[in-house]
């Protein structure tokens, strides 16, 4: 299949799946249920963190998080007392437990207090200004393909874990520098950054652009990407993320990760047949 035909397949799938009905069985509907930006980005981050396994289980456990946080995620993060934090202890989603959750709440509180919020925590300068200009001789596309891996996500992780925490908790925030595909954090970034023009993503953040995003690589997007000739690498690691994202940029350099919805939709619906 040539590039024109592949683009046609992707565009058709995007039109078909980028609809409000897409979110009915998708974890994104948890943050979308909150009107306040701060609530949506807090519960969105926690929901994305536990987004592995069956989607029904992910959604049910994300709803438990909402209840544990008194249905006011940002207020809970900023103001929960020690006794209120103790209520988190029984929570568990696979290997993510109440100890991890307690630190995540305190880590989020630290990001708001020290850096002004989650979006700023990804940016090279704590005040939210960006130093992502391409080096001399580098193309803008090349710079965009690498800054989140080389600067943004590692910087976010470093800042998030500045408060005292148990080392085991660090495994729940990915590090592309160690080869991880960082699927969950890339998915969270897609939710926050891509425009809210189709009733799917939230479009709450403006300092990171859709062109900066990297595809959230999972079993569905990887399989369909390989079937369409967009991905040659057999491992689902960060190199595969870079390769697939670069392929998608050929079709829409300003918003390549919109095709994540297309690839995932094709993959899930093919699997159900």
| 94-144 tens-digit pLDDT | 999 999 999 999 999 999 999 999 999 999 875 544 444 433 333 444 445
pTM of the model: 0.92
Domain extent at residue 83: 3-272
The arithmetic mean of pLDDT across residues 55-77, rounded, is: 97
Q: What pLDDT was estimated at residue 273?
A: 46
Q: Which long-range contacts (CB under 8 A, 24 or more apart) does 5-11 make?
A: 6/228, 6/229, 6/230, 6/251, 7/251, 9/228, 9/262, 9/266, 10/228, 10/248, 10/251, 10/259, 10/262, 10/263, 11/251, 11/262
The arithmetic mean of pLDDT across residues 27-36, rounded, is: 96
**Can you tell me the distance from the alpha carbon of 247 to that of 200, in angstroms, rounded to the nearest whole number?**
23
- Look at residue 222 and tell me whether its pLDDT is greater than 90: yes
What's the full length of the chain, in residues?
Answer: 273
Q: What pLDDT was estimated at residue 23?
A: 83
**Can you tell me the distance from the alpha carbon of 186 to that of 210, in angstroms, rounded to the nearest whole number?**
11
> Token digits for 259?
């095709």
Instruction: State the chain's mean pLDDT as an integer.
Output: 91
Total domains present in the chain = 1
What is the b/e burial string over 5-26, where b = at least 16 CB atoms within 10 angstroms of the residue's CB? ebbebbeebbeebbeeebbeeb
- What is the per-residue pLDDT across 208-221, written as a single tens digit (0 to 9) for each? 999 999 999 999 99
- What is the per-residue pLDDT across 196-206, written as a single tens digit (0 to 9) for each? 999 999 999 99
Residue 164, judged by CB atoms within 10 A of its CB (0-12, 13-18, 19+), counts as: exposed
**Can you tell me the distance from the alpha carbon of 20 to that of 64, in angstroms, rounded to the nearest whole number?**
23
Contact (CB, 8 A) for 104 and 65: no
């Amino acid at each position: 299949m040539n590039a024109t035909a592949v683009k046609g397949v992707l565009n058709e799938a995007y039109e078909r799946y980028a609809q409000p009905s897409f979110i009915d069985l998708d974890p994104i509907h948890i943050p979308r249920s909150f009107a306040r930006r701060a609530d949506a980005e807090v519960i969105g981050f926690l929901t994305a963190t536990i987004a592995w396994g069956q989607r029904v289980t992910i959604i049910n456990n994300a709803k438990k998080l909402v209840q544990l946080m008194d249905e006011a995620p940002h207020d809970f993060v900023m103001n929960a007392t020690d006794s209120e934090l103790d209520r988190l202890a029984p929570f568990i989603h696979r290997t993510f437990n109440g100890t991890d959750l307690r630190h995540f709440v305190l880590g989020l509180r630290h990001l708001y207090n020290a850096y002004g919020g989650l979006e700023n925590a990804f940016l090279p300068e704590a005040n939210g200004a960006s130093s992502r200009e391409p080096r001399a001789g580098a193309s803008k596309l090349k710079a965009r393909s690498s800054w989140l891996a080389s600067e943004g996500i590692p910087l976010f992780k470093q800042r998030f874990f500045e408060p005292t925490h148990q080392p085991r908790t660090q495994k729940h925030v990915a590090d592309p520098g160690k080869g991880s595909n960082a699927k969950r954090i890339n998915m969270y970034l897609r939710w926050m950054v891509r425009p809210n023009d189709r009733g799917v993503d939230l479009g709450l953040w403006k300092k990171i652009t859709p062109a900066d995003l990297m595809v959230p690589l999972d079993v569905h997007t990887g399989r369909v990407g390989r079937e369409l000739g967009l991905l040659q690498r057999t491992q689902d690691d960060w190199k595969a993320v870079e390769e697939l994202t670069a392929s998608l940029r050929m079709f829409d350099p300003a918003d390549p990760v919109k095709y994540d919805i297309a690839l995932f939709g094709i993959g899930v619906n093919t699997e159900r047949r």
